[in-house]
Structure 1
């Protein structure tokens, strides 16, 4: 049995020193797929789970902070079983996230 998980890491690009490696999902049986990431002005990272239809929030020191979920993130059409539910995330300087669901074309504004 494979032991795969989704994670996010932060590195110093001049020395390749790793600041942290934070596991986001594990072998609990829940299907997940860590994909895109955005960073806010405070340094928090937001990582899309393209299979689990959620967004993980990780703090500047690698601490797991929260999960952002919404029923709107879960597709109900024919493509609901594909890997990609959410894909593409950006932090807007006015303090919110913009996320897209590529198959439906829905664009979400998420206040953080």
Structure 2
């Protein structure tokens, strides 16, 4: 039971932190802002075309909207995975560094 609660708390923390990082990147990182604008532009063009063709291809607009949702979900999931791996990496790097700093640690030539 405690393990389940801790896992849920970690999942929520990772989700919140990844969302926070992406929000900060949207403000502070020029490359990210540029990529975000380009994605929005392409999506806007797709939506415009889908609306123009809606009478001939009614499923096109729905398909574009489904793609947008799926792409956003994938992007968010990727951010969470990267953040989670970063936590794991920091733990192992810290352990390796601590082992290296021990007086009888590895010998470097």
Q: TM-score, normalised by structure 2?
A: 0.23
Q: TM-score, normalised by structure 1?
A: 0.22
Choose between structure 1 and 2 for higher RCO, CA contacts under 8 A separated by at least 6 residues.
Answer: 2
Which of these two proteins has the greater Rg computed from alpha carbons? Answer: 2
